[in-house]
Amino acid sequence: MSIFGSMKTAVSGMNAQANRLSTVGDNIANVNTTGYKAVSTSFSSLVLPSSGGNYNSGGVQTSVRQAVSDQGDISYTTSTTDLAISGDGFFIVQGPDGTPVLTRAGDFQKDDEGNLVNAAGFGLMGYSYDAGSPAVVVNGFDGLVPINVNQEGLTAIASTSGVFKGNLDSGANIAPVAPATLPSANAATTTTDTKKFSMVAYDTLGNKVMYDFYFTKTSVAATPPPAPPAVNSSWQVAIFRNANAATGGTSSFPYSAGGAVGTTTLDFDANGKMTNSTGTVNIADTVTGQTIKMDLSGFTQLGAAFAGTGTPNGQAASPVKDVTIDGDGIVYAKYEDGTNKPLYRIPLANVASPDKLTLMSGNVYSANGQSGVTVTGFPQTNGLGTIKSGALEGSNVDLAGELTEMIEAQRSYTANSKVFQTGSDIMDVLVNLKR
């Protein structure tokens, strides 16, 4: 055995324990860092070939392992922009250089421009709702923009579409079929069998505009029919501006300013299901200049009382009160009048082997050949976790375990230094033999 070899082996042992102490020091220093993932040191032996009765000591080498896939404890906070991931996945953030990277650190706050930025200065990325409901780009970061929650002043959104559904009483009598007496003629003598509903929509300035919907049965198949007809009965739908209703007498008719702003016919089969291919009607309002496409396909004709409910889009002029984020990653602006408007949707990203990601400063990660390619998706899809608003994921460091590791590394380092010191003493003996 070479004396120099034993001393080199001791040096490699001290270096290995120094690396171990470095990972322990990092873990202890970041025990309170949001989303931090513990690192550890693994040892493997280096063996040199030996022959006969001579043994050549080798040494030891180390590699660093990351516990990225281990979930940290989730604690709740009072800030709605604090985000935690329960389950798999990473937030997609970008640094000052604009390069997208991954992180579990969700301690986001508004900066001076309204962008959500975490403690390390990385901005949260998401898909905007400016062009409608976003679609995820599964194999890249295209389409992602910084999430900005500055929503100052008043916001008004004009109505462009809506959904109106309910039930039309199959027992209703047929109204007079003379065209001049139907609601669409603006001179109807309505009865209890002509049902009226009203709905509020919004113009381009956020003003409320009320529309009156009249449903009138106009035809019914012979009873009993010789064979089930495709259309068992029909109903006429006539829509008027409520502001144009007559103010005198006992009826809203006649409406002024041109009469009906939309009409259509709804056909039902013998089972009370609508047979129209679309079941839609356009409200062409000449006063506001708007066209609102109403979906009426949810109406049925059954033996029950008249019922209806409508939900047009649009929004009255209202200031933003708060910003909320749900478990699907949708960022909403909550207005003072109680309405919500989706602004962004936060995606999550993942890789095949999260523990092999490249760790970078700021508690962020980048993909590499060992981790696998990055796959992007929305929360709660394709195995990705849930986003929890008003919560943070703590580090997964076990402080008691790290203190134990530190003591073990210290003792091992001391033992290796003793081997080196013994080799040095033997060298002194050899040198002194010549004296």
Question: With 60 as the cut, is the pLDDT of residue 179 above it?
Answer: yes
CA–CA separation, 109 and 415 (whole Å): 49
**Structural domains for the chain:** 3-70+396-433 (no CATH), 74-155+319-393 (no CATH), 159-313 (2.60.98.20)
Span 245-274, mean pLDDT?
89
Span 263-274, mean pLDDT?
93
Span 220-230, mean pLDDT?
66
The whole-angstrom distance between residue 186's C-alpha and the CA centroid of its chain comes to 48
Span 394-409, mean pLDDT?
95
Residue 56 pLDDT: 77
pLDDT band at 366 (very low <50, low <70, confident <90, very high): very high
What is this structure's pTM? 0.68
Residues 6+ apart with CB under 8 A from 281: 237, 239, 262, 263, 264, 293, 294, 296
Question: With 90 as the cut, is the pLDDT of residue 341 above it?
Answer: no
CA–CA separation, 25 and 13 (whole Å): 18
Question: With 60 as the cut, is the pLDDT of residue 224 above it?
Answer: no
CA–CA separation, 64 and 43 (whole Å): 9
Q: Which of 252, 271, 268 is nearest to 260 (CA)?
A: 252
Residues 6+ apart with CB under 8 A from 47: 58
pLDDT band at 257 (very low <50, low <70, confident <90, very high): confident
Letter string b/e over residues 151-163, b meaning 16 or more CB atoms within 10 A of that residue's CB: beeebebbbebbe
Residues 41/20, Cβ–Cβ less than 8 Å: yes
**How many CB atoms sit inside 10 A of residue 218's CB?**
17
Q: What is the pLDDT of residues 383-393, one digit of tens each?
A: 999 999 999 99
Question: With 80 as the cut, is the pLDDT of residue 289 above it?
Answer: yes
Phi first, then psi, for residue 169 (nearest 5°) are -65, 120
pLDDT band at 2 (very low <50, low <70, confident <90, very high): confident
Half-sphere exposure of 331 (CA within 13 A, CB side): 26
Span 363-379, mean pLDDT?
95
Residue 45 pLDDT: 87
User: CA-CA distances (angstroms) from residue 133 to 83, 93, 100, 343, 344?
Assistant: 22, 21, 22, 10, 9
pLDDT band at 404 (very low <50, low <70, confident <90, very high): very high
Question: With 80 as the cut, is the pLDDT of residue 192 above it?
Answer: no
Q: Is 315 left (phi over 0), alpha (psi -120 to 50) or beta?
A: beta
Residue 152 pLDDT: 64
Residues 348/144, Cβ–Cβ less than 8 Å: no
Rounded to a whole number, what is the distance in angstroms from the first to the last CA of the chain?
Answer: 24
Q: To the nearest 5 percent, what fractions of the chain are helix, strand and coil?
A: 15, 40, 45
Average pLDDT, the chain: 90
User: CA-CA distances (angstroms) from residue 233 to 168, 181, 197, 255, 276?
Assistant: 11, 19, 20, 27, 12
CA–CA separation, 146 and 148 (whole Å): 6
Amino acid 325 reads I
Span 6-16, mean pLDDT?
90
User: CA-CA distances (angstroms) from residue 140 to 101, 136, 289, 340?
Assistant: 11, 9, 42, 29
Q: What is the pLDDT of residues 413-430, one digit of tens each?
A: 999 999 999 888 888 888
Span 127-146, mean pLDDT?
91
pLDDT band at 221 (very low <50, low <70, confident <90, very high): confident
Residue 157 pLDDT: 85
Residue 265 pLDDT: 94
Q: What is the pLDDT of residues 18-53, one digit of tens each?
A: 999 999 999 999 999 999 999 999 998 888 877 777
Amino acid 231 reads V
Residue 225 pLDDT: 57
CA–CA separation, 264 and 390 (whole Å): 48
Structure tokens at 157: 């959104």
**3-state DSSP of 128-144:** ECCCCCCCCCCCCCCCC
Q: Residue 264: helix, strand or coil by DSSP?
A: strand
Span 207-216, mean pLDDT?
94
Question: With 90 as the cut, is the pLDDT of residue 222 above it?
Answer: no
Cis peptide leading into residue 254 (ω within 30°): yes
pLDDT band at 227 (very low <50, low <70, confident <90, very high): low
C-alpha radius of gyration, the chain, whole number: 36
Residue 155 pLDDT: 77
